Structure 1
Amino acid sequence: MAPASPDGLKVIILGGGIAGLTTALALTKFAPKGQVPKIDIYEIRPEPAVIGGAVNLTPNALRMLDHLGAYPIMQERDYGKIIDYLEVFDVYSGKLAESSFSGPDGKGIGNPPFKALRITRGDALKAVLAAVDAQENITMTCGKRTVKIDEQPDKVTIHFEDGGSASGELLMGCDGIHSVTRLKHVEPERKASYSGVANAFGFAHVGPDFPVHFECTAINFARRGMLLTSYHSSKMDSIYVGGLMQVEDVGSRDGWKSVGADAEKVRNQLLERFGDSKIPCIVPLIEKAQDFFLWPVYTLSKHGKWSTDRVMLLGDAAHAMPPQGESTGIVFEDTVLFSRCLTRWIEKGRPGNNLREPFEAYEALRKKRIEIAFDESKNVVSTVSDAGWVGHTIKTYVVPWFLWFTRGYREKHFIEDVTTVDIKY
């Protein structure tokens, strides 16, 4: 791949997770010819974190990863499990509905068509890391804690806890919901708040004859939460078991891996909430699950500041919300759309060397979509909150209707390709 160009921007990215890595790839891919940026990524962890649950990459998410060169790596390495359709169940009465990703001819949604992919966060990150490693213009340094951000008219400098520093023309804050970029510079008063919901999850190893009630992925609604059960690899020898449920504040912003007595406590919580299921495999899956994590869901307020003159927040750092089925795809679209706005500004000759122009163009294109997603995410919290039998019964009637009513709206986003959106400014 091409090295950084002498005339390319010098970019700093805080955060070496999916958002930061895909931002680096997008800034590289969409850079004007001869102006490939020099990108330095700084990650607070000693190494990229490849732990976490299993995410659903919707057709629009896979489309963006294909543009960025990461999806072909997932295919080559046989990461994840293709999803034709997602099934929705009431654990007491059976199947309620389906949400299909197959499209009219069974090949997927959009042009070119994509279905969905259930993949562990670790495998997704490994694929994106491999794509980043192939780019000569991108470097990543781990174990760097930022303690201060100093912005000047012509540059921005980040200062590290170890006494070092780094400067660039543009700083991208891709450092998650508890973003140092936001809390130390862009909008310190906008702090994350606990949603009241946490995700307790693990992985159950199963044999080829283990009976399940779903084809690939099932959302299982109960009176006291929602349990996701899904294969996450083509081998189909492991099932992700994740319970999204209303719990008291667990006292940790970032969650933790549960071991020993704590793991059994998490398992017992899941059994307490979903153990009365009439679906035969639910209890055995919870009993088989290992490597438990407890992950509290934090959110930001709907409206907020995303940028200063030389600093831009992307992904959860700007707009973290409860998981609503498209969260990961939204982040990928952020990175591509922002990169295209920045490229348009560079192609115009960097007028006034003023980054406010591409920043404002991006926010004008993006904020309405994010506000709609925020409103959609509220339904997730209410849907998984504890309910009595009457409330749960109402839910079982509402969910199928909601999926039917919103099908066209969802497919519109699945078809969308922000690489083709007209950047008009």
Structure 2
Amino acid sequence: MTTCKKPLKIIILGGGIAGLTTALALTKFAPKDAVPRILLFEIRPAPATIGGAVNLTPNALRMLDHLGDFDVIRQRDYGKDIDELEVFGLHGSKLAVSDFKGPKGKGIGNPPFKALRITRGDALKAVLEVIKLQKNIVLMCGKRTLSIKETADDVSITCDDGTYWAADILMGCDGIHSVTRLQHVDPARQETYTGVCNAFGFARTPKDFAVHFKCTALNFSQRGVILTSYHDSRMESVYVGALMRVPDIGSRDGWKQVGADAEKTRADILRRFGDAKIPCIRPLIEMTEDFFMWPVFTLSKDGKWSTNRCMLLGDAAHAMPPQGESTGIVFEDTVVFSRCLARWMEKGMPGGHPKEAFAAYERLRKPRIADAFDESRAVISSVSDAGWLGHTLKTWAVPWYLWFTRKSRARHFEEDVTRVGLGY
């Protein structure tokens, strides 16, 4: 087998969690004598360490462990271990449980992991710490890409400060509103607002404050779903996230304006969930320090992910409503893609451009993404406003759905994509 001795030069657009973990995966899985030179471009003055709290499932934590991030998370005591996700109706009864403890109580898979509820900010800070140790990765902030040009020999970007950068490969990890997709890879594939918005914030709770859940809970009502979860090991703060139907504001500036009025958002959440029979729900909403609006956008199920030298990863390629594994899917994307690219390099880079690696990656990931997309549709239907009968049917369907899908979830949680055959 011939190994390429020339390191690739790779541009990554997007300094969020997808772009940063892609840079780490490309570094880790590259041939040892051909570690790529990576330029990471972030449009903001610094990577954004704000946002809500995400549930990292066992397969997601397994990928972070491979990339060296999980050790930092543990050292910094970021997040709260989750044994199980509890599901309640706001009338007070427990509907179902999704378990992460595994058969021996230590987690799922090999090595075993439970789940972790962690703020997006803490997750990003952990990845940034590992990025700083990689001499082949350069992160440049405050860089807005104006244009992308691809030739037979390279791909280049021009930034708003007049600078020009060229590379062998460009990775579009720049989210749902991806410049890489909209300007170059698939301009016709526009994002669409789902009609659902996540209004979230954090409530600092007193020591004697009683909650109805052990770690994390989904609470269903007739007018949406409200998530309540600890996100720190000391259990001093509860993440409150209300998924609910909100009319389209029509523009990103409009969403920012609406999101800036935290008290109006709080009043809306109280109208939807404030009459809950669960005693802690109303006080948690009232104690939440601020509420931020996060409109949920999606892309069509099928679409173009790549050209000869550009590849979309994460939300730029397949944004969908949150369905419990979204963040873990992104981590798996980065690892599978990096392994496919490393294999192409080991073969001597046939064809002169990485389309062979791109095609192998898409064969592996598109079926998985299609399944996840179908699962995400259930989220939208569960959030829809419903009358008494519709809500009753929904609370009956949720435990049945979790039972019916338990085996497929367990397979996903056990999976380690570093061991999956690449097929070429």
Mark yes or no: TM-score above 0.5: yes
Paired amino acid for 1:177: I
Partner of 1:169: 168
Query: What is the CA–CA distance in structure 2 between the aligned matches of 1:375 and 1:361, rounded to whole Å?
Result: 23
Partner of 2:383: 384
Partner of 2:50: 51
> How many residues align structurally?
420
Partner of 1:75: 74
What secondary structure sits across from 1:290 in the alignment?
coil
Query: What is the CA–CA distance in structure 2 between the aligned matches of 1:127 and 1:223, rounded to whole Å?
Result: 38
Partner of 1:341: 340
Query: What is the CA–CA distance in structure 2 between the aligned matches of 1:257 and 1:60, rounded to whole Å?
Result: 37
Identify the range of structure 1 (351-360 vs 105-114) with the bigger mean alpha-carbon deviation.
Answer: 351-360
What secondary structure sits across from 1:75 in the alignment?
helix
Check the 8 A contact 2:259/2:293 in 1, yes or no.
no
How far did 1:153 drift?
0.5
Partner of 2:232: 233
Check the 8 A contact 1:250/1:296 in 2, yes or no.
no
Residue deviations 1:101-156 (CA, integer Å, cap 9, x gap): 00000000000000000000000000001111110100100000001000010100
1:241–1:331: structure 2 CA closer, same or farther, 3 Å change rule?
A: same
Matched, 1:283 2:282: yes
Partner of 2:119: 120
Paired amino acid for 2:176: I
Matched, 1:222 2:221: yes
Partner of 1:365: 364
Partner of 2:96: 97
Query: What is the CA–CA distance in structure 1 between the aligned matches of 2:115 and 2:229, rounded to whole Å?
Result: 13
What secondary structure sits across from 1:49 in the alignment?
coil
Query: What is the CA–CA distance in structure 1 between the aligned matches of 2:110 and 2:252, rounded to whole Å?
Result: 40
User: Can you give the 5+ residue segments of structure 2 that lack an aligned partner in the other structure?
Assistant: none
Partner of 1:323: 322
Query: What is the CA–CA distance in structure 1 between the aligned matches of 2:354 and 2:386, rounded to whole Å?
Result: 49
How far did 1:295 drift?
0.5
Residue deviations 1:301-327 (CA, integer Å, cap 9, x gap): 000000000000000000000000000
How far did 1:165 drift?
1.2
What secondary structure sits across from 1:150 in the alignment?
strand
Identity, in percent, stands at 67
How far did 1:352 drift?
2.3
1:46–1:257: structure 2 CA closer, same or farther, 3 Å change rule?
A: farther
Alpha-carbon RMSD across the aligned residues, in angstroms, is 1.3
Partner of 1:409: 408
Check the 8 A contact 1:257/1:291 in 2, yes or no.
no
Query: What is the CA–CA distance in structure 2 between the aligned matches of 1:373 and 1:259, rounded to whole Å?
Result: 28
What secondary structure sits across from 1:352 in the alignment?
coil
Q: How does 1:174-185 map to 2 (within 5 A)?
A: 174-185=173-184
How far did 1:7 drift?
1.9
Check the 8 A contact 1:203/1:241 in 2, yes or no.
yes
How far did 1:353 drift?
1.3
Partner of 1:198: 197
Compute the TM-score of the two structures, normalised by the length of structure 2: 0.97
Paired amino acid for 1:300: L
Check the 8 A contact 2:221/2:273 in 1, yes or no.
yes
What secondary structure sits across from 2:201 in the alignment?
strand
How far did 1:162 drift?
1.3
